[in-house]
Structures are given as C-alpha cells and as structure tokens.
Amino acid sequence: MTALLRILRLLIVASPWSMARGAMLAVLVLLMGAALLGLSGWFITATGLAGLAGIGIAFDVFRPSAGVRLLALGRAAARYGERLLTHDATLRALAALRVDLLKRVARRDGRQLQNLRGEAALTRIVADVDALDGVILRLFLPVLAAVVTHAVAFAALWWLAGAPVALSVLVGYVPAGLIILIALGWRSLSPSRTAEDEAQRLRRGVIDLIRDREASILTGSLAAGEEALLQTDRTARAAIRRLDVQERRAGLILAVAGSVALALALLAGDWVLSRGSVDAASAAIGVFVALALGEAFIPLRRGVTEIGRIIPAAERVLSEAEPAPVPSKEGRCEDATVLSLRVGDKHLSLNTGQAAVLTGASGIGKTTLLLRIAGLSTLSDARISILGRDPSHWAEADLRDAVTMVPQRSVLIAGTVRDNLALTGITDERAMWAALDAVALAETIRHRDGLDTLLGEGGSGLSGGETRRMALARAVLRRPKLLLLDEPTEGLDTETAAKVLAGIRAALPDTAILAALHRDVAHPLFGARVSLEL
C-alpha cells in the first residue's frame, strides 16, 4: 500500500488543480444521484398521498419537478466534466511519468545498457505506467466519492427522516461493502498478477517471433514458437476469466447487501412513521437513497480486481523513479590534460590531439575502463580525471559534450542515413558527408540513395562493418574533446581499418583518442603515442 500512496502522490502533484476539480465533480455526481432518487421518491410518495387525500389540486408539483430536472441535468453535466478533467489530468501525468522513466533507463550503467533488450524494457515501462491509471480513476476517486457521499447522505437522512433511517442505510451498506471489497481484492491478487505477467510474456514473445521469423523458419521452430504463444494466451485468458468471475460474484453479493440495506431502510421508515416522527413521504426517502448509494461501489469493483496488477507496477515504477544522483558543484579546472588515467601502477596522460591504444587480454576489463571514463559505469577502481575533474563530478550534459564513446555494439535506428546521423543534433549535410568520408563510407552511401538511403530496424541494410562505421561517423559529427573507441576496426579488413583510423584523426585533429584494440595497435595513429598494457 505504501507504493500505491507514493504513486498517488506523484500523479496528483503532476496536475493538482485538475485532479481537485475532478474529485469534486466525482463527489457531486454521486451526491446528485442520491439526491435525485431521494427527491423523486419523496415526490412520488407525496403526490400519491395527496391524491388519496383528495388534495392533489392544491399540491405544489412544480418546484419538486423542477428540482428533479435540475438534478438530472446537473448530474449528467457533472459526470461529463468529471470524466474530462480526471482522465485528461491522469493521462498527462502518466505521459510525463513514462518519459521520465525512459530517461532514467537511458542513464543506467553502460554495461546494463549494453545488455538491455530495448523492446522488453519499453514494453515493461509502457505496461506498468498504463496499469497505474487505475490508481486515480478506479481507486482514489471512487473511494473518495463513496466516503464523502455516504457521510453527506447519512447526515441528510438523519435530518430529514430521523436517526433510525440514517443508521439503517449506513449499517446496511458500509460494513458489508468493505468486507466484500477486501475479500475481492485478496482473491484477485493471484489471477490479476498472472494475467498481467502472461500478457507481458505474450507481447515479448510476439516481438521476438516477428523479429526472428527468418531464423525460426530456417530452423523449423516457427510452429513451436506459435504454440508457445498460444499457450501463453490461453493462460492469460484463463486468469482474466477468473477475475471476471470474482468481480461478478462480488457484484452479486453487493446487490444482495444493497437489498438488505433497502429492506432495513424500509423497516426503519415504517418504524419512525408509526411513531409519528416524520410524515410518510419523508420516511420513504431512506429507501430511495439506499437504492442510489449502490452506485458508489460499481467502479470500485473493477479497481479492486486490478490491485494485483497495480501494486507490482507501482513498485517497479518507483524503483526506476528514484532520484538520479546530483553531480557535485566543483568548479571546472582549466587543465591542459584532456585525460589523466591511473590504473594500479600504470599511468596515462592524453593532451589535445594525442592518441593512445589500450591493449590486454579479452575479459581483462578494457570495456569496463572505457565505460568508467565515459561516466557510464562505477565498477572500475581507476583514478580518472577529464579536464581536471572526475567523470562523476560532471553534469551529464557537459560530460556528453566533452566525451563521446563508440561501444562494440553499434546501434542504429530504422529510418534514413540522415536520421541516424541527425541523432547527434547536427543536421548540416556537408558535415554529414564529411563524417562519412572520414570513415570511408561516403562512396557506399552515394551509390545508393545518399543521405535518404533507408535502413531497417537496427540498421538492417548495412553490413556489420558498415554499421560500425556509421556509428563512428556519428562520433565524428559530435567533435568531442575526448573520443573513446571500443574495438573500432572489428569486422573491417586491414585496408579499410587503416583508412578509417586515419580518417578519424584527419577529421578530429584536436581530439584526444583512447582506443581499446586487439588488432591494428601498430597503426601510425598510435605509433608515437602512449600504449597502456593492462
């Protein structure tokens, strides 16, 4: 429940005035519904008694009928306004939360990002945030409206029909309603969680099957994959059916509780009427108000059945929404050394225009060290200074302007070559072509559709080496002070690798470069520079 309260606070703070107005209208809708039935019941009873007494012609029917019309129209208008305000505020809050969560995922440790399955993370975030709309729309607002409406109805019935009628309605509805909803929530925890988990597994499975359909066809595993998805779908549907059964059963019991409250109100009204405390029309009000109060429990049934889906989603969202660490406010040191690195007893200094190669056996930690320098990991215990400051002491935006890293896994998006290069924020065509020339990729792109060449998901349409060079071209466009390269020549033939390294240096003459390499360590770019062996 703590997670629900924290999420509730986040959503309300996102649009407090819209939420407050929507809450007032939600309460007003239920109050108008209870007042409408109460007034209608009083009006019908009073006119019937006036007719029986033979004084119908003297009975004022205009003001009560006007009140009935006012309440009916007002209730419809309030319902529309409540839906408009609360749904708009909730959707805005959830949209902002979704963007914030995606930003926080993007700030994860570099190793985590390399191992992250983007579609799985995106699907999880979208589903979790979508589940949270029930916190406001199906839990908070209905509970608030039900509590306020019952309190006001109790006070009004006490005043109009007497304490016995008011107490009969309150005792008939509230305890039974609470017990039924608590039992419904408890029994719905397991099926609602199962339904959500299986739905997520189904989405991921469909994405994986579509993405790997060629491999599935070639290996003959397509039918097995389809059957696994169908079984997941059957499990999810079975859990949803269990939820529906639980909700309908709770609805039936609530209806029975409502009938009991109605009978108690009728008996209490008869008792106060026999004692002469109120007239017959006033005694009948409790019966109609008891009938109207049943509306307060209808939206709560669906919200309570989804509690098993909402609570885990809230916990996951809160774990992602922890405040990001704030960089220290150290002043910038004007140090001529672009990179100062000490690992054990090894030391490396890179100034403007210098380059060094980082060598060592596979798995020894070269990539981890580069991630640490780039401020994307905290695993390495190396002592690092970039322009006089530790990477953790830089503001994120400033560090990204100063340092660019090209990892082993090159990531491209579906779209044009122009779209992929424009991710750097540089849209000048001449700069784009210069960057492609630097990585020996310009001729390949010119022979196709130029910068408008379409690439598929993940950059499909380019070979592995071309994909790597496209990522290097993006790094060239950034023109950083420090460029970190993790196996930049992997997948390239010797001649092309030499051209790419020379082209990068020619395009970025003032950039300090540190590259982790297994081959091409003797390239002239690094020949006269410092080599660090780990």
Q: What are the residue ranges of helices labelled H in 354-448?
A: 366-373, 396-402, 417-422, 429-438, 442-446
Instruction: Give the residue from 338, 367, 350 showing the smallest Cα distance to 517.
Output: 367
CB contact at 8 A, 199 and 236 = yes
Q: What is the DSSP letter of 356?
A: E
Q: What pLDDT score does 411 carry?
A: 79
Q: 10 in a domain, yes or no?
A: yes
Rg (the chain; Cα; Å): 34
Please give the Cα distance from 331 to 341 (Å, whole number): 20
Same domain assignment for residues 117 and 155:
yes
pLDDT tens per residue across span 268-317? 888 888 888 788 888 888 888 888 888 888 888 888 888 888 888 888 88
For residue 185, the domain's CATH number is: 1.20.1560.10
Same domain assignment for residues 301 and 368:
no
Give the start-end residues of each E strand in 210-345.
Answer: 337-343
CB contact at 8 A, 19 and 25 = no
H or E segment at 404?
strand 403-406
Same domain assignment for residues 300 and 355:
no
Which residue, of 320, 346, 374, is where some domain finishes? 320
Residue 332 has which token pair?
């910038």
Same domain assignment for residues 134 and 222:
yes
Q: 173 in a domain, yes or no?
A: yes
> How would DSSP label each residue in 124-150?
HHHHHHHHTHHIIIIIIHHHHHHHHHH
Residue 484 backbone dihedrals phi, psi, to 5 degrees? -110, 125
pLDDT tens per residue across span 465-494? 888 899 999 999 999 999 998 888 887 888
Same domain assignment for residues 144 and 223:
yes
Q: 74 in a domain, yes or no?
A: yes
Give the start-end residues of each E strand in 173-271.
Answer: none
Q: What pLDDT score does 433 carry?
A: 94
Half-sphere exposure of 118 (CA within 13 A, CB side): 9
Same domain assignment for residues 399 and 284:
no
Coil, strand or helix at 154: helix
Q: What is the dihedral of CA 443, 446, 447, 448, to 10 degrees?
A: 130
Please give the Cα distance from 478 to 425 (Å, whole number): 8
For residue 494, the domain's CATH number is: 3.40.50.300
Same domain assignment for residues 24 and 168:
yes
Q: Is 480 exposed, middle or buried (0-12, 13-18, 19+ CB in 10 A)?
A: buried
Q: 325 in a domain, yes or no?
A: no
Q: 244 in a domain, yes or no?
A: yes
Our count of domains for the chain comes to 2
Same domain assignment for residues 158 and 295:
yes
Left, alpha or beta for 487 (phi > 0: left; psi -120 to 50: alpha)? left
Q: 329 in a domain, yes or no?
A: no
Q: What are the residue ranges of helices labelled H in 409-483?
A: 417-422, 429-438, 442-446, 464-478
Please give the Cα distance from 323 to 345 (Å, whole number): 36
> Token match 């209208």: residue?
25
Q: 331 in a domain, yes or no?
A: no
Same domain assignment for residues 369 and 279:
no
H or E segment at 188?
helix 163-211
Question: Which residues have CB under 8 Å from 483's CB, separation 6+?
Answer: 403, 404, 405, 406, 475, 504, 508, 511, 512, 513, 514
Please give the Cα distance from 233 to 212 (Å, whole number): 20
Q: What pLDDT score does 233 carry?
A: 92
Q: What pLDDT score does 475 carry?
A: 92
Same domain assignment for residues 43 and 173:
yes
Burial call 389-402: b when 16+ CB within 10 Å, e when fewer: bebebbeeeebeeb
Same domain assignment for residues 342 and 223:
no
Please give the Cα distance from 114 to 405 (Å, whole number): 13
Coil, strand or helix at 449: coil
Same domain assignment for residues 494 and 373:
yes
486 pairs with which residues across the strands?
516
pLDDT 10s per residue in the chain (534 long)? 677 888 888 888 877 888 888 888 888 988 898 888 888 888 888 787 777 666 655 567 788 888 888 989 988 998 898 888 888 888 888 888 888 777 777 776 666 666 666 566 677 777 788 888 888 888 888 888 888 988 898 888 888 888 888 888 888 878 888 899 899 989 988 898 898 888 888 888 888 888 778 888 888 888 888 899 999 999 999 999 999 999 999 989 988 888 888 888 889 888 888 888 788 888 888 888 888 888 888 888 888 888 888 888 888 888 765 544 444 444 444 455 888 888 777 778 888 888 888 877 776 777 888 888 888 777 667 788 888 888 888 888 888 888 999 888 777 888 899 999 998 888 899 999 999 999 999 999 998 888 999 988 777 888 888 888 999 999 999 999 999 988 888 878 888 888 888 899 899 988 988 888 777 666 666 654 555 554
Measure CA of the first residue to CA of the last residue in the chain; give whole Å: 50
Give the domain extent around 380. Answer: 337-533
**Helix orientation angle between 298-305 and 141-160, rounded to the nearest 10 degrees:** 150
Which residue, of 287, 320, 353, is where some domain finishes? 320
H or E segment at 403?
strand 403-406
Q: 330 in a domain, yes or no?
A: no
516 pairs with which residues across the strands?
358, 486
pLDDT tens per residue across span 215-273? 888 888 888 888 999 999 999 999 999 999 999 999 899 888 888 888 888 898 888 88
Which residue, of 267, 295, 320, is where some domain finishes? 320
